[in-house]
Amino acid sequence: MRTFARPALAGLGLALVAGTAACGSEAGPAAVEQKAPASPYKATMLPAAYKIPDVRLTDGDGKPYDLAERAKGKISLLFFGYTHCPDICPTTMADAAGAMSLLTPAERAKVQVVFVTADPARDTPKALKAFLGKFNPSFVGLTGPMKTIQRAAADAKVSITPPPAHAKGNYPVSHGSNVMTYGPDGGGRLLFPYQFGSGDMAKDLKTLIAKAAPISVTGAQIRVPSSPDVTGGYLTVSNAGPADTLTGVTSPAAKTVEMHRMVMNGGSMKMEQMKAAPVPASGTVAFAKGGMHLMFMKPGNLKVGQTVPVTLRFAKAGEMRVNAKVVPAGA
């Protein structure tokens, strides 16, 4: 008989999250309850000391995938399951896909869903990619040696039981029913139990995204091009968290976007390209006239009053998308 463990969400500081699910498994160990602090989330909060597993597996394209490294700067939803699962796995992936659809494009850019198979014998990279593509093609499917997968599950406090050796046919696999969620620093944030629902998941993710983003960007502007080759852009980056680095900027409004600064050279000012811009802890960086600024190379046909998306990439905070207002050339 299929069973799964769902921790109570009221009065629960943290439950042992090794509840198992799927098609012939037994219930996990009894939950250890502690008094919960006030929480802005409906889901169960996880200790930040819980870390996303530091393992290297294989993704749906057959390429190596360093889970901890690829999680940096992202909110990561981690689930262990298998593609032949008739109930828990498709339901959970459908909930996750529904939640993603309720986020804005900028919010979705900050979230990744990772599905690690508990059945590597049947779940090839191709099978994982096909299965997850039915829900959301951005979902990442991972496979690899069973011992590595078991270590990842143990690190995530999720219970899985390997299929019997040389199992054949449509055999069941015991696996966790919870979605473990980690912040951009790889630390634990939330536990979404089975059948949590897309709407509530999206609400909690929106709250988590807002709390996890120490970086904010204001005053984004792009000048109407006075030349077909280049135009300037300006904005202010504010950082309420630890030191970070702006590593790149892109926009569909131009072929490329470069960061530049003005420096003294022999008594005159010279423009110099920057590969990165440090963002100090609890500090502000202004891209403004006469100082650091953005150069939109080969810009499109921009008109005053139009807004265009601009994506900033930070080493720690990840990608942030803002809308820049097009202003007159002399503004």
Task: Tell me the C-alpha distance between 78 and 61, whole Å.
Answer: 18
260 known ligand binder? no
CB 329 within 8 A of CB 219: no
Which residues pair with residue 314 across a beta bridge?
246, 318
E strands, the chain, in order: 20-21, 44-45, 56-58, 64-66, 75-81, 111-117, 140-142, 175-176, 179-182, 188-192, 215-223, 230-239, 244-250, 254-265, 268-274, 277-279, 284-287, 293-299, 307-314, 318-327
Q: Is 175 annotated as a binding residue?
A: yes
Classify strands 56-58 and 188-192 as parallel, antiparallel or unpaired: unpaired
Q: Positive or negative, the Cα torsion across 187, 190, 193, 198?
A: negative
A 10 A CB-CB count for 148 gives 18
* Structure token pair of residue 196: 């949590």
Q: What are phi and psi of 320, to 5 degrees?
A: -135, 125
CB 217 within 8 A of CB 320: yes
Residue 291 zone, left/alpha/beta (φ > 0; ψ -120 to 50; rest):
beta
The answer to the question of whether 23 is labelled as a binding residue is no
Binding-site residues from annotation for Cu cation: 85, 89, 175
Annotated binding site: 85, 89, 175
